[in-house]
Amino acid sequence: MTKQNFSKTRLLAYFCSGLLCCFIWTEIVHAQTCDPIFAEVDGLVVAQIESAPLVDDWVLSSQWIPPVGHSTPPDPGSEYYVWNGPDLFSSPGSGILTYTINIQNPQLLTYNFRIRNYHGDPDSTEANDVFVSVKDAAGVIVNPSVCLPGDTHFGDEWIKVFSSTAHAWNWASSHECSGSSKHSAKYQLSQGTYTLRLSGRSHGFAMDRFHLYVNGHADAQNPDVAETLAPCDDPPPDPDDPTDDDLEDDSSSGGEDGEGDTSSTPQADSDTDSASLQDATQAIMTTQSCGTVTVPNGKSSKFETMLLFFLLVSLLFSLRRQYRS
């Protein structure tokens, strides 16, 4: 090996080492400063349940031992949480999991709320629910759009969401507005930031992820679609700030979906708002910097790290071999 070739190889190794260091540093800074905000992208919000820190009696799937007689959840493709605390049928507020959501579309649209869940009690009406609360940025309660004044739980911060499908991962999620008023879960949301919280209710209820979506979205109940994370360095737009360039005017229409109110099995029907949402969400897609939105399960950064690490190790071995020769 000539001295000139050795220098070139060494320079290349230094360059790749620097690149790897910069990448790792970016990942570290990202992990330290980026609280997840789940952005609406083209009418869909996706959040992994395990994105919120474990609290109280929630347990990670790997630590969950189903009670005797319960069926065992199959692999859902990602981690999930299970409420391992006692039944709290009348006592919401324990084991609160918090998710920040940002809706970009300025129009008031109906979003189906679905939790991908599992419950394995022999009685399908047991171990099948959780409490949910949604508030806007001002802390005002957002009532489920399927609950009406006169319902027992209209105006309550916490409302029960239950699943009617047992022994399989499913998306069945219904609001129980009262004992006789139970509907597929929905919220009407417009542009702004919201806080969605889940609170333990039934022992053994397992949750993998939740989606908020407009009717007709192609990935409405796709269990592999990536979280719709907002970029860490791009805070949600302020609707009250006219200088905020992230706000876009969208005059197309949206609204009710016509889904049967009494159905407890969610369906994505043909009424689509995707076209009207495309423009309003384009800004997000073009400014994503976290690198996890378009790749299922957020595996892109891990893949890139492994690739760079492999490249660096290969170069170092090559350098060592050539130097000895």
Least distance between Ca ion and beta carbon 112 (Å)? 19
Longest dimension (CA), the chain: 86
Which residue in 129, 151, 208, 227 binds Ca ion (CB under 5 A)? Answer: 208
Whose Cβ is closer to Ca ion: residue 132's or residue 247's? 132
Whose Cβ is closer to Ca ion: residue 117's or residue 202's? 117
3-state helix, strand, coil in the chain (%, to 5): 25, 25, 50
- Does 227 bind Ca ion (CB under 5 A)? Our answer is no
Q: Decide: residue 274, CB within 10 A, 0-12 exposed, 13-18 middle, 19+ buried.
A: middle
- Residues within window 71-100 making contact with Ca ion, judged by CB under 5 A: 78, 80
CA distances from 140 to 137, 143, 155, 156, 186 (A): 7, 9, 10, 11, 17
Number of residues in contact with Ca ion, rule: CB under 5 A?
5
User: Which residues does residue 136 pair with via DSSP β-bridges, in sequence order?
Assistant: 194
- Does 48 bind Ca ion (CB under 5 A)? Our answer is yes
Whose Cβ is closer to Ca ion: residue 80's or residue 205's? 80
Least distance between Ca ion and beta carbon 173 (Å)? 15
Least distance between Ca ion and beta carbon 208 (Å)? 4
* Residue 31 phi, psi (nearest 5): -65, -30
Residue with tokens 């065992």: 72
Least distance between Ca ion and beta carbon 67 (Å)? 21
Least distance between Ca ion and beta carbon 51 (Å)? 8
Residues that bind Ca ion (CB under 5 A): 48, 78, 80, 208-209
